[in-house]
Amino acid sequence: MSLTAPIVDTETVLSVENLSVYYGNFLALKDVNLSIPQHYVTAFIGSSGCGKSTLLRCLNRMNELIFGSRVLGKINYRGTDLYAPTVDPVDVRRQIGMVFQKPNPFPKSIYENIAYPIRINGYQGDVEELVEQSLRDAALWDEVKDKLKQNALSLSGGQQQRLCIARALAIEPDLLLMDEPCSALDPISTARIEELIQQLSQQYTIVIVTHNMQQASRVSQMTAFFNTTSDEAGSGHGYLAEYGSTEQIFSDPAQDVTRDYVSGRVG
Ligand X SMILES: Nc1ncnc2c1ncn2[C@@H]1O[C@H](COP(=O)(O)OP(=O)(O)OP(=O)(O)O)[C@@H](O)[C@H]1O
20/31 Cα distance (integer angstroms)? 5
Q: How far is the CB of 157 from other proteins (least distance, A)?
A: 10
Looking at beta carbons only, is 161 or 227 nearer to other proteins? 161
Residue ranges in contact with Mg ion by CB under 5 A: 53
Which of helix, strand or coil describes residue 66? coil
Q: How far is the CB of 155 from ligand X (least distance, A)?
A: 24
Q: How far is the CB of 53 from Mg ion (least distance, A)?
A: 3
Site string for other proteins, 168-197 (x = CB under 8 A): x--x--------------------------
128/114 Cα distance (integer angstroms)? 9
Candidate list 5, 153, 254, 266; residue touching other proteins; CB under 8 A: 153
Indicate whether 164 belongs to the interface with other proteins (CB under 8 A). yes
The stretch near other proteins (CB under 8 A) out of 93-101, 124-132, 222-230, 242-250 is 93-101
* Backbone torsions φ then ψ of 2, nearest 5 degrees: -105, 155
The stretch near other proteins (CB under 8 A) out of 5-13, 75-83, 160-168, 186-194 is 160-168
Nearest to 180 by CA among 48, 26, 22: 48
| 161, 181 contact by CB (below 8 A) | yes
| 133, 166 contact by CB (below 8 A) | no
Alpha carbon 202 to its chain centroid, in Å, reads 16
